[in-house]
Amino acid sequence: MGIKITAYEAICNLGRNIDEIFVRALKGENFHFSTEENLIKNYKLRLAKIDVPLENIDDVNFNARCNRLAAYVLNLLGVQISELLKKYSKDEIAVVAATTNCGVEEFETSGLKTHSELGNPAVFVKRLLGLNNIAITVSTACSSGTKAFSSAINYLSSGIAKAVLVVGVDSMTKLPLYGFSSLEILSPEITNPFSKNYTGINIGEACACFILENTNDAGINILGIGENSDVFHSTTPDPEAKEVKKAIEQALSMANISPEDVDYINLHGTGTLANDMMEAEAINTIFGDNIPVSSTKPLTGHCLGAAASIEAALCCHLLNNFSGKLFPHIYDAEYNPDLKPIKLVKLEDKYSKCKICVSNSFGFGGTNAIIVLGKDNG
């Protein structure tokens, strides 16, 4: 028995399902973006929007883009969820959502407080599927998706639930765009993480859904999670990465593996100097420059509360479908010499195995979350 991801699906700017997203990510397609010049006065934005028709939700309290995205992805998992409901009672299935925006955009015009409640996505999923167990939303900025897995593991380990739906979702809204603009870190050009010519971040939107079970069935093993907080600054990470290193070590210890056992690391890789400096410091200290690493945010944009979720889905699909290629790190290839060296994956690189992935996620307030995922042959 072990806690495993037994099914998952996703949507983002790269594709309408995880298969499309995966193929385009392996090719390093960083052009699925749009340019907006009217959202912020005198400011051009490069955004990773989802261009898919989404059905309205009948209950006005839940008719928000976040929930429409969640409903779309849950529909992709229709067969698996149907089987789940046959396997467990509705009292035995919990919901853990991850988000930062929820329906804040809709609240501006609707005035419905339910739209701005962070718990809204979890309650929506619970009601949509008619579940009776606990439903919570985790909102710890850009580490939310991994933190949601941590909560789900607690529910499964304690017997509160026999299965958990983990849903990470965020939609494009003006509030975070204004906020990041005020910090002067939004990029009108292609984000360029770990380059000496860093430009800033591109915001995206996404949804990824996972079914977690404590089972002997085949799936992706959640081998370890490390989480803590810098207690350093409200928006800037600790450049010495002291707590990040501890979080990585905690995740590796829980997984009972050494740094050398890791085959690939999905970086947080936002494309800001502060993040790049901190993350390179942490990776170099623990892994040296021997483990292949890349940021997929140049491909998907930074999806905020869904960032860790879409990146976990990419890692799951990589483990399930590895064929010699890892996600390339797409940037201008001018590595910042002021950063500690790390081994960024090139598009042409080929690898012999990928059985263990690490995914890094960090957020405002110094929140850090690391997840270790492993291939399971059932």
d(CA 193, CA 294): 9
Share of the chain above pLDDT 70, in %: 99
Summarised one tens digit per residue, pLDDT across range 95-106 is 999 999 888 888
Residue 176 has pLDDT above 90, yes or no: no
Across residues 236-255, what is the average pLDDT?
A: 93
Residue with more model confidence, 304 or 174 = 304
Across residues 218-222, what is the average pLDDT?
A: 95
Summarised one tens digit per residue, pLDDT across range 298-321 is 999 999 999 999 999 999 999 999
| Residue whose token pair is 């609240």 | 107
* The pLDDT value given to residue 141: 85
Q: 340 to each of 142, 233, 288, 297, how far by Cα in Å?
A: 23, 22, 9, 20
Across residues 1-7, what is the average pLDDT?
A: 90
d(CA 21, CA 29): 10
Assign domain 220-375 to its CATH architecture.
3-Layer(aba) Sandwich (3.40)
Q: Say if residues 44 and 199 touch (Cβ distance below 8 Å).
A: no
Across residues 84-102, what is the average pLDDT?
A: 96
Q: How confident is the model at residue 377 (pLDDT cuts 50, 70, 90)?
A: low
Per-position DSSP letters for 1-52, written without gaps between them:
-EEEEEEEEEEBTTBSSHHHHHHHHHTT-----EEEEEEETTEEEEEB----
* The pLDDT value given to residue 378: 45
Across residues 62-78, what is the average pLDDT?
A: 97
Residue with more model confidence, 92 or 235 = 92
Q: Which superfamily does CATH assign the domain made up of 2-215 to?
A: Thiolase/Chalcone synthase (3.40.47.10)
Question: In the chain, where does the domain assigned CATH 3.40.47.10 lie?
Answer: 2-215, 220-375
* The pLDDT value given to residue 36: 87
Q: How confident is the model at residue 193 (pLDDT cuts 50, 70, 90)?
A: very high
Q: How confident is the model at residue 178 (pLDDT cuts 50, 70, 90)?
A: confident
| Number of Cβ within a 10 Å radius of residue 92 | 18
Q: How many CA atoms lie within 13 A of 284 on its CB side?
A: 14
Q: Say if residues 271 and 201 touch (Cβ distance below 8 Å).
A: yes
Residue 205 has pLDDT above 60, yes or no: yes
Q: How confident is the model at residue 1 (pLDDT cuts 50, 70, 90)?
A: low
* CB < 8 Å & 24+ apart, contacts of 14-19: 14/299, 14/300, 16/52, 17/76, 18/208, 18/313, 18/317, 19/317
Q: How wide is the angle at C-alpha 207 spanned by C-alphas 202 and 208, nearest 5°?
A: 120
Task: Give residues with Cβ within 8 angstroms of 323, minimum separation 6.
Answer: none
Query: Among positive and negative, which fits the CA dihedral 86, 131, 129, 151?
Result: negative
Helix, strand, coil tally for the chain in percent (to 5): 35, 25, 40
* The pLDDT value given to residue 232: 75
Across residues 214-237, what is the average pLDDT?
A: 88
Across residues 138-150, what is the average pLDDT?
A: 94
Q: 33 to each of 80, 106, 172, 328, how far by Cα in Å?
A: 31, 23, 13, 18
Phi–psi pair at 294, nearest 5 degrees: -160, 155
Residue 269 has pLDDT above 70, yes or no: yes
Provide the phi-psi class of 184: left if phi over 0, else alpha when psi is between -120 and 50, else beta: left
Summarised one tens digit per residue, pLDDT across range 44-53 is 899 999 999 9
